[in-house]
Amino acid sequence: MKNRRTILKAGLLAGGGLLFAGGNYYRQQQNARKAAGQWALFLDYSDLARATGRSLLKQTPEWQSLSVVSMLEQFLQRLQIKATSLQAMSNDELLAFLQARVRMDFIEESVVFSDGWLLSKTEAQLCVLASLSDGLDPEKT
């Protein structure tokens, strides 16, 4: 069995690749779902994370209309990571980006409310990505 870190990196590469690889729509979506699932590995309690993501999607009209590809793009933009740089980054570096952005969200009050919870926008997007990856189990890819 591949370890979690190896899987995570592989998935992120796929996610980065899809943004400039072109290809048919179905394949792009599949890759994006896979990448979303990999990013979701930075979360624990995956069922709860996905449920939170679904709830956030329901209450956020501007996200509802986005494809998983666009959502992933927005997320990477939020992290200020270029898709092409993903290959060169370690998981620890990616996590550090995520941590820094979430912390900055709480400083800047870039937050959302979901079912009584106050969440940073970045982690809210991450939960949404987790929910969009629903049906894919990264451990089995």
| Phi, psi (deg, nearest 5) at residue 117 | -100, 145
Q: CB of 44: closest distance to another protein in angstroms?
A: 6
Distance between CA 29 and CA 27 in Å, rounded? 5
Residue whose CB is less far from another protein, 67 or 113 = 113
Binding site for another protein (CB under 8 A): 42-45, 48-49, 51-52, 95, 98-99, 102-103, 105-107, 109, 111, 113, 116-120, 123, 127
Q: CB of 127: closest distance to another protein in angstroms?
A: 7
Reference 42, options 141, 133, 135, 106; nearest CA is: 133
Q: CB of 20: closest distance to another protein in angstroms?
A: 27
| Phi, psi (deg, nearest 5) at residue 112 | -130, 160
Residue whose CB is less far from another protein, 35 or 56 = 56
Residue whose CB is less far from another protein, 64 or 115 = 115
Q: How many Cα neighbours within 13 Å face the side chain of 104?
A: 10
